[in-house]
Amino acid sequence: MADSKVNDILLFMSVAETGNFTTAGRAFGLSRSTAGKAVTRLEDRYGARLLNRTTRAVSLTEAGQRLYAQGEAIRVAIAAADARMEVSDGIPKGTLRIAAPDALGRRLVLPVIKKFQTTWPDIRFEISFSDTISRIVEDGFDLAIRVGVTTPDASLISRTLRMEKTLLCASPEYFTGRKVPKNIDQLSTHDLLQFSSVAKRQTWSLHDASSFLSTVSGRVSLRLDSAEGLREAALAGMGIALLPATLVKEELRAERLVQVLPDIDCGDVPIVAIYPHKKFLEPRVRRFIDALVADFSLGGANDVSQRVDQL
């Protein structure tokens, strides 16, 4: 049947994109075996091998490349039909799957979701709060919120939501018996807490009062793949952390943390929305991105600076 062939083609495309039958099947709520059978049916139907299979990876054959190109047209047509149907009554519908950093996601994204669902109650959300960088397309997300990521894969689009000021901070208890650093060089005698993931290790590049850029080379006593974890480590007196102002403003105001080297410019990091490159962006995705932009613009870099100065 025509509809089953379309499903097989979409499954085949997912296998080609993820390089993995298990992941491709999971994206459709199906098993690895079902994804494999879909590709086999297509190969039998067209009398050509579509994928080169090894124990480690799969790749497109020449015939597979031709079918994949045709499948893109099918996918665009389906997306266009979905988009037109969703806006036929002016009400976005469906499920919006979002990946966001744990700490900032809870503080910045959840309030936007609450407002959005008040306006559009037919939208359902599935959220993954994690500092691990997700493969957006392969893992089936419509949208990802990321900090510091400005050049995603060519198949993705990024939109800056706002620039976030970063601050050096530590707990007052950390400085018991220690000298508070007076300049960037003195950071080398302190315990530093830094972010680290599989893809990237955080480094600190700071500007002094003369705008001279220095790369800090202190001893890193702890690396974590969680901004929330770094904040908790700083609160526990384990060292000095460099964190987004939004994440620590309440602790600074309550004096559970103190700002270190307040006259030093620690730089800004972009908070960006990343989503798949599509000719027709689903209304629920487009409207939610617009909601993020509107909400985040209320707390841009200048506003953050002013709030921190008032702490």
Maximum average pLDDT range among 104-118, 150-164, 199-213: 104-118
Least confident of 37-41, 78-82, 306-310: 306-310
Q: What average pLDDT score do residues 198-205 get?
A: 72
Give the model's confidence band at 24: pLDDT under 50 very low, under 70 low, under 90 confident, else very high: confident
DSSP type of residue 292: H
What number does CATH give the domain 91-311? 3.40.190.290
The pLDDT of residue 309: 40
Q: What average pLDDT score do residues 235-242 get?
A: 96
- Average pLDDT of the chain is 83
7/4 Cα distance (integer angstroms)? 5
Q: Determine the length of the chain.
A: 311
Q: Which residues contact 58 (CB under 8 A, 6 or more apart)?
A: 15, 16, 19, 20, 21, 51, 52
Domain spans of the chain?
2-86, 91-311
Instruction: Indicate the fold that domain 2-86 takes in CATH.
Output: Arc Repressor Mutant, subunit A (1.10.10)
Maximum average pLDDT range among 21-30, 134-143, 245-254: 245-254
Give the model's confidence band at 211: pLDDT under 50 very low, under 70 low, under 90 confident, else very high: low
Least confident of 15-24, 74-83, 191-200: 74-83
- Residue-wise pLDDT for 117-153, tens only, equals 999 998 999 999 887 666 776 677 889 998 876 555 6
Among residues 125, 156, 114, 150, the alpha carbon closest in space to that of 138 is found at: 156
